[in-house]
């Protein structure tokens, strides 16, 4: 029974967000519930267990559909590929204790969700809790909304006016009852709960069914062994889960209950415990270190915060108060991407507070509990997103095939035993036994062992992983995006020089390090004050660029004696000349106000005042942006060519500007727009950003492995292109094409232009760029696709909006993306994924958080052991971890395939052997099963995955799916070899002259050791064996001995043949443990074959056969090994053969990027050099399926071998 979204019955929760869900309304029906209870009793709880696994069936059977308004039961379904269902019951909350009627509720609260959720006349609120978040029913909008957050519709002035002076006690109480406590409460789950949850796993239920069956068949030892193993597995899992639960509980409990000061409307300040906070409360931040118990918007003053818990970056971040803008835009829309500059996040630490003229530092509570940034991280650990990787889906499909295979065996068993007149109970037992043999219950465990070992290997190499399922995905990566600064290049920048500008002309370059510092003047003052540095624990802390810049002045930050400026009530940090500083005509400069660096605006500014002087503004940022904000007459005419000269050499260039401010208006009252306009251009600060030592070799290794590398940076485009060339991302013979997109002024259309970089006519630039390529060479390079697109974030945004159909074409050869904002980085990664690339992202900081989360494999180069922002974290801040991770990912993926093939073959070999013996109403004995399952398969399963990754990355990837022709062929052929050998042994043994169906000692009668026994002892032996035969249910037979020995050693052959070495894993002989295990197991098997020890044979249900037959069996096994090995090496692993077959059958990859590549190779007009297109005149030339398709995350249909 599926869902048919009807009117009012269906809606969406968290629309457009990462955790978006469909929600359906249902009402419980008494008679249906009564029928279900009867069903539970009659099925001995099996129906209840089925409903536990399938909550949607529970709701569909127990309830009837109704509108969301009437519903008391809700069915939620995730909107991803998995469509996972969950069932939620409504909770009613009464607020009648605090308000007697709706009219009692304050008028100021009319537009808040709390007012819109209270129903009349009951004064109750309808709520549901989903993944720790409380949702309340909005009776006007007829939808569920989050309760623990301040609504998005408030404007900046609303937040200042409505919440600046705090909530009243009554408002606070109502909100507290509805929202619940402000805690990120992760209770330590009791062991009994974990145990029950684990035991009810379908895998263990299947194990329980198997064990009951084995007990019924007197397989006591085997059933006991399985119980012990299952219990051990359950206890280990429960121990692990309990440990994680305790760890997570400790991580969040630190700030769940701290004392805070809030501002109460008309009642002054009040001290209370942080779990009483509600959205809209006004927090007072005092001096000294404070842990933040919630997310809050800073409404007055300034703070310095350590956000390393969230971003992995331990650089202090400056937060400024929300502007008092009087407009109708919601505050977040008004602040755009910079809204985070005003938000203090839960779990972060306030290091320093700085009050403005209003006296205290205030913040309005924005989100509480699990709605906060930290709550979100904790929820992502508690409810991880399932991985949609083909391997796991194919594994399930394969299990279904095995179940179908088992069904055929069951029919065969029933026919054979029923026709021979066996009792019904015995027939049923034997038939059910087939399922437990054909379906390997250890398959899920076997698939994860490889990943666990890989995770341990990565940990030894300093790469930590918080999402182990993604390790296999790393084996499929074919495109890696790199941030530039701190990732490809050294984190610290060295000051190289300053190019001063006076009277719209550049002056002589001042080089660093020089014996004499920069002379006193506006530029010197800009270096001294235009930063967001603080003194923390006796050291200057902040952005490395700011630190280098400030150190060049030899001044010091005098944070201890905060300076009081005349006529202003607040105190300010002051910078003063240090001991080594050149003499300056001032005592110091006070920094009055700061507008922190913004990725969106690409600049920062400060208002500073010389002690005893007038206030001035100093601005630094991207040179192009700074020049636009300056008065035209102050910008040198050769600004662009000079900028190009330095950026083309790979220097990081920063523009400096200043402006005198008129007295009268307080600095805190000035808006950013007022400060950052009509500026005077001061010059260009040139910084050297060296490549890391390992950058070039790593990029060369990735390139050799045909893994695309892309640079995504916030830096200048020319600097980025030069770094890309120096690093080897762009080959010296390849062409760079600049893609520039601009909006047409005064219209909704846009233009896009392609410029070849070498054709930019800049005099200064010609000396820098090697222009030796001839025109025919250029054409040839373009013709063979050896070109790279470079574009800025602005162009990328315009292309995304106006030239959507061109975006896939541009991404196919796009190598440099500069001046990209954090959200553009995430968007770019998603667009690459839409083209069916498996994308890795490697970055070092907060700006990359979004992209690190979105990518298939996000690798954070952070010093923190586990940066919660990304699935992988490297302890060493070097990109050498990227090929390492890909190598290990490929090895883990191949290991998973090997394990899968082995588990499938082992169960099939055992299944075929048992079915052959069923033909004679026989089977394997208890100890025979035990030996095959425990001594052989379990040990192999544990040790096969020890093989490490091959050190060289080959230029192709392992297959991404189990249902691929080579893999299926390998499994099918090996099944046929096993079947042929077992049938051959089964039939041929019956043809032997010594064979007897009734006398199991006939083969050894002629042997000397047997003749030495007297006839009386023979009689005794016969009696003994006859008695044993009855207890053994007649397992002993020549067929049993032959088939069991052949199938057991066949398992070893299959393990050896399937253990792949090169090109993705190290050769199998390097896995010493596995080789020793195989030799040991083979030795034991051969000992059992040739030993002929009566007691041992009696225990193992084996019988004595002539030496010639034993040698014949060894011969059969040797032939099987040779054929199997030959086929695996000459056919299955023969890559050229499969490529030839692909070519012969004209197989084309289904990946979008491969198909698009094919289309563009035929297009002689691409790329259109030195042409401009307009958005309303471009025809859509790309096939419709190239754009707008859903994100196929972790799902590539490419059938790479």
Nearest to 617 by CA among 650, 580, 637, 589: 589
CA 358 to each of CA 547, 565, 673: distance values in angstroms, whole numbers, following the listed order: 30, 15, 22
- Residue 853, SS3 per DSSP: helix
- In the block, which residue shows the tokens 């037992």? 429
Contacts of 771-776 with CB under 8 Å at 24 or more apart are 773/733
Q: Which residues, listed in sequence order, are joined to residue 742 by a DSSP beta bridge?
A: 751
Neighbours of 954 (CB within 10 A): 15
CA 853 to each of CA 470, 839, 856, 870: distance values in angstroms, whole numbers, following the listed order: 12, 11, 8, 5
Nearest to 786 by CA among 1160, 1101, 1090: 1160
Cα–Cα distance measured from residue 959 to residue 1055, given in angstroms and rounded to the nearest whole number: 20
Examine the residue annotation and report whether 508 is marked as an active-site residue of this protein: no
- Residue 907, SS3 per DSSP: helix
Judging by DSSP bridges, how do beta strands 479-482 and 708-712 pair with one another? parallel
Q: How far is it between the farthest Cα atoms of the chain?
A: 126
Residue-wise burial string across 1023-1058, b where 16 or more C-beta atoms lie within 10 A, e elsewhere: eebeeeeeeebebbbbbbbbbbbbbbbbbbbbbbbb
Burial label for 617, CB within 10 Å (0-12, 13-18, 19+), is buried
CB 151 within 8 A of CB 331: no
Question: Of all helices (H) and strands (E), which one includes residue 636?
Answer: none
- In the block, which residue shows the tokens 């754009």? 1187
- In the block, which residue shows the tokens 């050190």? 951
Angle at 306 between CA 305 and CA 310, to 5 degrees: 115
- Residue 139, SS3 per DSSP: coil
Joined tokens for residue 209: 């069914």
Q: Which residues, listed in sequence order, are joined to residue 1027 by a DSSP beta bridge?
A: none
Neighbours of 878 (CB within 10 A): 17
Joined tokens for residue 138: 């909005």
Joined tokens for residue 76: 């939620």
Q: Which residues, listed in sequence order, are joined to residue 535 by a DSSP beta bridge?
A: 540
- How is residue 342 annotated by DSSP? G
Q: Which residues, listed in sequence order, are joined to residue 133 by a DSSP beta bridge?
A: 130
Angle, helices 793-802/822-834, rounded to nearest 10 degrees: 50
Angle, helices 639-647/717-727, rounded to nearest 10 degrees: 20
Cα–Cα distance measured from residue 988 to residue 1090, given in angstroms and rounded to the nearest whole number: 19
Question: Of all helices (H) and strands (E), which one includes residue 298?
Answer: strand 295-300
Nearest to 851 by CA among 863, 837, 840, 861: 840
Catalytic residue among 356, 483, 715, 1092: 483
CB 1046 within 8 A of CB 1113: yes
Cα–Cα distance measured from residue 393 to residue 195, given in angstroms and rounded to the nearest whole number: 27
Determine the distance from the C-alpha atom of residue 493 to the mean position of all C-alpha atoms in its chain, rounded to a whole number. 31
DSSP 949-978: B-SSPPSS---S-SS-HHHHHHHHHHHHHH
End-to-end alpha carbon distance in the chain: 39
- Residue 1198, SS3 per DSSP: coil
Joined tokens for residue 965: 């022709």
Cα–Cα distance measured from residue 902 to residue 906, given in angstroms and rounded to the nearest whole number: 6
Give catalytic residue positions.
Answer: 483
């Amino acid at each position: 029974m599926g869902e048919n979204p009807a009117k009012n019955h269906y809606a969406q929760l968290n629309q457009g967000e990462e955790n978006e869900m469909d929600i359906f309304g249902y009402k419980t029906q008494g008679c249906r519930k009564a029928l279900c209870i009867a069903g539970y009793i009659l099925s001995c709880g099996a129906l209840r267990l089925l409903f536990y696994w399938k909550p949607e069936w529970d709701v569909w059977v127990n309830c009837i559909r109704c509108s969301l308004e009437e519903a008391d039961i809700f069915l939620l379904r995730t909107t991803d590929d998995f469509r996972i269902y969950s069932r939620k019951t409504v909770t009613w909350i009464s607020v009648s204790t605090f308000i007697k009627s709706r009219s009692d509720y304050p008028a100021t609260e009319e537009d808040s969700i709390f007012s819109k959720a209270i129903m009349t006349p009951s004064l109750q609120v309808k709520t549901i809790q989903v993944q720790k978040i409380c949702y309340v029913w909005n009776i006007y909008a007829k939808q569920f909304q989050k309760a623990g957050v301040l609504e998005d519709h408030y404007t900046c002035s609303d937040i200042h006016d409505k919440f600046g002076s705090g909530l009243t006690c009554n408002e606070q109480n109502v909100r507290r009852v509805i929202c619940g406590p402000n805690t990120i409460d992760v209770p330590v789950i009791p062991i009994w709960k974990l145990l029950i949850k684990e035991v009810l796993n379908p895998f263990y239920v299947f194990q329980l069914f198997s064990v009951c069956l084995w007990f019924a068949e007197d397989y006591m030892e085997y059933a006991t062994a399985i119980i012990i193993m299952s219990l051990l597995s359950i206890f280990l899992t429960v121990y692990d889960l309990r440990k994680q639960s305790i760890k997570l509980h400790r991580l969040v409990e630190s700030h769940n209950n701290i004392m805070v000061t809030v501002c109460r409307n008309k009642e002054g300040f009040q001290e209370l415990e942080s779990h009483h906070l509600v959205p809209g409360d006004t927090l007072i931040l005092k001096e000294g270190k404070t842990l933040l118990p919630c997310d809050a918007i800073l409404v007055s003053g300034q703070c310095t915060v350590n956000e390393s818990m969230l971003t992995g970056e331990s650089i202090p971040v400056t937060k400024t108060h929300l502007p008092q803008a009087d407009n109708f835009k919601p505050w977040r829309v008004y602040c755009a991407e910079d809204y985070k500059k005003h938000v203090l996040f839960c779990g972060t630490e306030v290091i320093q507070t700085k009050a403005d003229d209003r006296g205290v530092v205030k913040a309005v509570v924005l989100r509480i509990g699990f709605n906060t940034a930290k709550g979100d991280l904790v929820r992502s650990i508690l409810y991880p997103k399932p991985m949609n990787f083909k391997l796991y889906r194919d594994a399930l499909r394969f299990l279904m095939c095995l179940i179908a295979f088992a069904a055929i065996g069951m029919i065969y068993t029933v026919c054979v035993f029923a026709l021979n007149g066996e009792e019904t109970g015995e027939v049923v037992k034997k038939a059910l036994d087939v399922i437990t043999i054909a379906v390997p219950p250890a398959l899920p465990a076997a698939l994860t062992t490889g990943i666990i070992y890989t995770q341990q290997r990565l940990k030894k190499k300093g790469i930590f992983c918080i999402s182990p399922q993604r390790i296999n995905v790393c084996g499929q990566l074919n495109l890696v995006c790199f941030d530039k600064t701190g990732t490809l290049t050294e984190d610290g920048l060295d000051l190289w020089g300053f190019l001063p500008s006076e009277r719209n002309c550049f002056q002589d370059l001042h080089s660093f390090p020089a014996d004499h510092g920069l002379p006193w003047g506006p530029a010197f003052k800009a270096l001294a004050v235009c930063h967001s540095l603080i003194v923390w624990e006796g050291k200057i802390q902040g952005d490395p660029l700011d630190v280098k810049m400030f150190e060049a002045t030899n001044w010091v930050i005098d944070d201890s004696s905060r300076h009081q400026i005349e006529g202003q009530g607040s105190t300010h940090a002051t910078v003063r000349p240090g001991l080594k500083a050149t003499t300056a005509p001032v005592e110091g400069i006070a920094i009055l106000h700061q507008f922190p660096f913004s990725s969106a605006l690409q600049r920062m500014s400060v208002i500073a005042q010389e002690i005893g002087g007038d206030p001035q503004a100093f601005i630094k940022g991207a040179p192009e942006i700074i020049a636009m904000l300056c008065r035209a007459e102050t910008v040198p005419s050769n600004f662009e060519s000079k900028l190009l000269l330095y950026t083309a050499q790979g220097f990081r260039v920063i523009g400096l500007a200043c402006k005198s401010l008129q007295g009268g208006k307080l600095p805190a009252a000035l808006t950013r727009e007022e400060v950052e306009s009509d500026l005077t251009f001061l010059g260009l600060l040139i910084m050297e950003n060296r490549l890391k030592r390992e950058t070039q070799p790593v990029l060369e290794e990735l390139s050799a492995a045909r893994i695309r590398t892309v640079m995504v940076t916030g830096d200048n485009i020319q600097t980025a292109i030069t770094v890309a060339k120096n690093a080897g991302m762009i080959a010296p013979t390849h062409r760079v094409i600049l893609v520039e997109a601009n909006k047409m002024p005064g219209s909704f259309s846009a233009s896009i232009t392609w410029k070849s970089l070498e054709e930019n006519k800049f005099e200064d630039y010609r000396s820098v760029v090697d222009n030796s390529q001839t025109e025919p060479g250029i054409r040839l390079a373009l013709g063979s696709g050896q070109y790279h697109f470079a574009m800025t974030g602005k162009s990328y945004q315009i292309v995304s909006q106006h030239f959507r159909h061109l975006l896939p074409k541009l991404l196919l050869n796009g190598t440099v993306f500069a001046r990209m904002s954090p959200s553009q980085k995430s968007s770019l990664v998603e667009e690459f994924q839409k083209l069916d690339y498996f994308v890795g992202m490697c970055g070092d900081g907060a700006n990359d958080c979004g992209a690190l989360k979105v990518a298939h494999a996000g690798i954070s180069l952070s010093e923190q052991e586990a940066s919660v922002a990304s699935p992988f974290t490297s302890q060493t801040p070097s990109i050498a971890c990227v090929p390492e991770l890909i190598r290990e990912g490929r090895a883990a993926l191949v290991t998973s395939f090997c394990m899968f093939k082995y588990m499938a073959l082992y169960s099939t070999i055992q299944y075929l052997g048992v079915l052959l013996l069923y033909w004679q109403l026989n089977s394997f004995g208890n100890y025979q099963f035990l030996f095959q399952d425990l001594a052989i398969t379990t040990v192999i399963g544990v040790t096969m995955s020890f093989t490490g990754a091959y050190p060289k990355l080959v230029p192709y990837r392992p297959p991404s799916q189990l249902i691929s022709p080579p893999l299926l062929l390998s499994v099918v052929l090996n099944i046929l070899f096993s079947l042929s050998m077992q049938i051959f042994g089964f039939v041929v043994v019956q043809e032997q002259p010594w064979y007897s169906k009734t006398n199991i000692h006939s083969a050894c009668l002629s042997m000397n050791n047997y003749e030495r026994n007297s006839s009386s002892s023979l009689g005794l032996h016969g009696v003994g064996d006859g008695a044993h035969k009855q207890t053994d249910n007649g397992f002993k037979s020549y067929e049993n001995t032959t088939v069991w020995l052949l199938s057991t050693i066949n398992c070893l052959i299959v393990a050896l043949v399937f253990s792949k070495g090169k090109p993705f894993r190290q050769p199998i002989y390097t896995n010493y443990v596995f080789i020793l295990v195989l030799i040991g197991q083979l030795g034991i098997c051969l000992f059992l074959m040739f030993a002929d020890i009566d007691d041992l044979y009696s225990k193992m249900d084996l019988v004595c056969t002539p030496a010639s037959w034993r040698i014949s069996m060894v011969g059969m096994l040797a032939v099987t090994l040779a054929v199997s090995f030959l086929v695996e090496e000459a056919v299955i692993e023969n890559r050229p053969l499969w490529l030839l077959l692909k070519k012969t059958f004209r197989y084309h990859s289904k990946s979008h990027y491969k198909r698009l590549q094919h289309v563009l190779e035929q297009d002689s007009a691409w790329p259109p050099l030195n042409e401009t297109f307009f958005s309303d005149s471009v025809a859509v030339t790309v096939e419709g399926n190239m754009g707008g398709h859903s994100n196929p995350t972790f799902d590539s249909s490419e059938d790479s071998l």
